[in-house]
């Protein structure tokens, strides 16, 4: 995971939004907002892997129910412009399993929000497109020790130097100021929460054995990275784009992606040019030290092969350079005689590289789909005994059992619904077949990665040949006008 994405927004009633609707959306459920009588149905929403409500110790246990929690919030906010909830969206590492991601977000949410007194509604989504993420809805009104909603702020008298109240302009009133009862609205919290999220992600990656791919919560500008940040699209714009309806923010992001792609290409080109300049400098110094003609192309080709053989790591050396013919061997194999034939050779190997990348992506996507199905089947099998035990209980004992095994029952239901959905789509539930297919894909991915590395090296070597033609062409043009 080499990027970090986290957005924080306020769900306000004056913008036509509701906390109940937001919870129904992220959890993929149907809820009625009893405050305004509106029912929000998102049961058709897929890819919701895990949902739960995490509560501080003094919160009423019934608030573990999404609907009860947010309907209580709605009824306790009287103002038309009330701020109902804080919404955080956080990208999670695709390198980690679902269980590992759930573990890291539970620890992050508990330490960062719940331990501070907030109720947190958590929903983990993964479409299998390499972009797993979590939605976190946080309450903004604190709970009193007896479990009732407290005040967000209170009025405090402004006192003069002698400690006396100061009269206001209105007769019979005193000057006051609003004081927040918590520090949850502190402007520095967003950066602190982002840093805590990055620490949690990096810690989870290290615990899983990864040594790279760690994230940085700082902006591109703070990191000194030449990138243009993307614009958040939001659910409405995303839904319109998915239906093929262009949106202004979607067009903006497409433009940004294209600009960032050009920046990446420019940086890669500058890196290669700098490397080639250093390489040429080294060849010139070596030839001058040996008293050789630095303009002799054959000598330069042979020297280039020797330098490559001594500097390229053993696992990346081109076998064709071992006989000392160096770049001449590459030119002969691809029938390179001039700049045009060199360009044609580069286009050929580049097309093969893109073909391998496409196969690698197909392999990755299919592996993700199979992993999701295997994970669902294993959860269904693991937690089925809790559902069976619940079915055997008399009606009076079921609520206590549900309270005790809420997580296990939720995992079972989520897995069972996924399996039923795939069956309804005509797919056969074949756990052994999925496992065998995933093992075959893993082996194929290993070979594709090896071939990609070899092909990238091939493109790089041909780029060296091309630069030699460019350099010679510049030298000829210079000699023509000297």
d(CA 110, CA 115): 6
**What pLDDT does 298 receive?**
56
Q: Is 353 helix (H, G, I), strand (E, B) or coil?
A: helix
Q: Is the pLDDT of residue 301 over 70?
A: no
> What is the per-residue pLDDT across 42-83, written as a single tens digit (0 to 9) for each?
998 888 999 999 999 999 999 999 999 999 999 999 888 999
Residue 295 phi/psi, 5-degree rounding, is: -95, 0
Mean pLDDT is lowest, of 88-102, 159-173, 457-471, for: 457-471
**What pLDDT does 317 receive?**
41
Q: Is the pLDDT of residue 295 over 50?
A: yes
Residue closest to 112 by CA, chosen among 160, 52, 54: 54
**What pLDDT does 164 receive?**
86
Q: Is the pLDDT of residue 309 over 60?
A: no
d(CA 403, CA 65): 11
Contact 356, 455 (CB under 8 A): yes
**What pLDDT does 322 receive?**
37
**What pLDDT does 196 receive?**
93
Provide the percentage of residues in the chain whose pLDDT is more than 90. Answer: 40
**97 vs 228, residue with greater confidence:** 97
Q: Is the pLDDT of residue 479 over 80?
A: no
pLDDT classification of 210: cutoffs 50, 70, 90: confident
Q: What is the DSSP string of 123-154?
A: EEE--SSS--EEEEEEE-SPBPTTS-B--SEE
**What pLDDT does 316 receive?**
41
Q: Is the pLDDT of residue 392 over 90?
A: yes
Q: Which residues contact 444 (CB under 8 A, 6 or more apart)?
A: 363
d(CA 259, CA 330): 34
- Residue 388: C-alpha distances to residues 129, 391, 397, 408 (Å): 34, 5, 14, 12
CA quadruple 239, 244, 248, 249: dihedral positive or negative? positive
Helices (H), 18-97: 19-27, 66-76
d(CA 180, CA 186): 10
> What is the per-residue pLDDT across 6-45, written as a single tens digit (0 to 9) for each?
889 999 998 889 999 999 999 999 999 999 999 999 998 8
d(CA 104, CA 112): 12
Q: Which residues contact 303 (CB under 8 A, 6 or more apart)?
A: 283, 286, 287, 326
Average pLDDT over residues 168-182: 85
**What pLDDT does 341 receive?**
80
Angle at 235 between CA 234 and CA 236, to 5 degrees: 95
**What pLDDT does 475 receive?**
60
pLDDT classification of 420: cutoffs 50, 70, 90: very high
**What pLDDT does 252 receive?**
85
Q: What is the mean pLDDT of the chain?
A: 82
- First-to-last C-alpha distance (Å) of the chain: 53
As given in the structure block, the two tokens for residue 288 are 């001058």
Burial readout 14-46 (b: 16 or more C-beta within 10 A, e: otherwise): eeebbbbbbbbbbbbbebebebeeeebebeeee
Q: Is the pLDDT of residue 318 over 60?
A: no
**What pLDDT does 103 receive?**
95
Q: Is the pLDDT of residue 444 over 90?
A: no
**What pLDDT does 442 receive?**
76
d(CA 401, CA 405): 6
> What is the per-residue pLDDT across 248-277, written as a single tens digit (0 to 9) for each?
888 888 888 787 777 766 665 566 556 556
Give the burial class of 261: count Cβ atoms within 10 A of its Cβ; 0-12 exposed, 13-18 middle, 19 or more buried: exposed
CA quadruple 387, 393, 394, 396: dihedral positive or negative? negative
**367 vs 451, residue with greater confidence:** 367
Distance of CA 119 to the CA centre of its chain: 24
Residue closest to 26 by CA, chosen among 110, 100, 170, 122: 122
**What pLDDT does 187 receive?**
85
> What is the per-residue pLDDT across 323-382, written as a single tens digit (0 to 9) for each?
333 456 567 667 777 777 878 888 888 888 888 889 889 988 888 888 899 999 999 999
Torsion of CA 330, 334, 339, 340, to 10 degrees: -170
Contact 165, 157 (CB under 8 A): yes
Give the Cβ contact number of residue 320 at 10 Å.
16
Helix (H) or strand (E) holding 273: helix 248-289
**127 vs 278, residue with greater confidence:** 127
**What pLDDT does 397 receive?**
92
As given in the structure block, the two tokens for residue 39 are 């029912």
């Amino acid at each position: 995971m080499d990027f970090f994405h986290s957005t924080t927004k306020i769900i306000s009633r004056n913008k036509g939004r509701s906390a109940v609707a937001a919870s129904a959306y992220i959890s993929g459920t149907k809820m009625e907002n009893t405050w305004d009588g509106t029912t929000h149905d998102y049961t058709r929403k897929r890819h919701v892997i895990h949902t739960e409500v995490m509560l501080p110790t003094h919160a009423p246990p019934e608030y573990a129910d999404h609907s009860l929690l947010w309907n209580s919030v709605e009824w306790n906010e009287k103002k038309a412009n009330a701020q109902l909830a804080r919404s955080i969206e956080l990208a999670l590492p695709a390198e980690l399993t679902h269980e590992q991601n759930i573990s890291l977000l539970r620890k992050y949410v508990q330490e960062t929000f719940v331990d501070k007194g907030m109720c947190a509604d958590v929903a983990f989504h993964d479409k299998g497109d390499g972009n797993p993420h979590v939605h976190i809805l946080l309450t903004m009104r604190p709970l009193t020790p007896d479990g009732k909603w407290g005040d967000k702020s209170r009025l405090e008298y402004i006192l003069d130097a002698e400690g006396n109240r100061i009269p206001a302009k209105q007769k019979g009133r005193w000057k006051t100021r609003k004081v927040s009862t918590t520090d949850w609205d502190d402007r520095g919290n967003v950066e602190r929460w982002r840093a805590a999220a990055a620490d949690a992600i990096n810690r989870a990656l290290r615990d899983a054995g990864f040594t790279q791919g760690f994230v940085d919560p700082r902006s591109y500008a703070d990191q000194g990275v030449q990138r243009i940040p993307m614009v958040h699209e939001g659910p409405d714009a995303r839904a319109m784009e998915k239906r093929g309806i262009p949106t202004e923010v979607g067009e903006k992001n497409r433009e940004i992606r294209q600009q960032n792609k050009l920046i990446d290409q420019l940086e890669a080109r500058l890196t290669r040019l700098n490397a080639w300049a250093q390489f040429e400098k080294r060849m010139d110094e070596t030839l001058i030290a040996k008293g050789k003609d630095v303009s002799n192309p054959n000598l330069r080709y042979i020297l280039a092969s020797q330098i490559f053989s001594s500097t390229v790591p053993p696992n990346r050396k081109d076998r064709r350079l071992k006989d000392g013919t160096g770049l001449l061997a590459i030119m002969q194999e691809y029938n390179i005689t001039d700049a045009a034939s060199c360009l044609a050779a580069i286009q050929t190997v580049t097309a093969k590289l893109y073909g391998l990348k496409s196969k690698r992506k197909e392999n990755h996507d299919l592996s993700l789909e199979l992993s999701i199905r295997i994970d669902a089947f294993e959860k269904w099998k693991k937690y089925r005994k809790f559902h069976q035990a619940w079915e055997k209980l008399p009606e009076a004992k079921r609520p206590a059992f549900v309270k005790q095994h809420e997580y296990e029952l939720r995992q079972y239901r989520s897995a069972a619904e996924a399996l039923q959905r795939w069956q309804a789509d005509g797919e056969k539930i074949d756990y052994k077949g999925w496992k065998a297919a995933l093992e075959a894909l893993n082996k194929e991915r290993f070979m594709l990665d090896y071939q990609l590395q070899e092909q990238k090296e091939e493109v790089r070597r041909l780029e060296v040949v091309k630069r030699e033609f460019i350099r010679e062409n510049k030298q000829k043009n210079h000699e023509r006008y000297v």
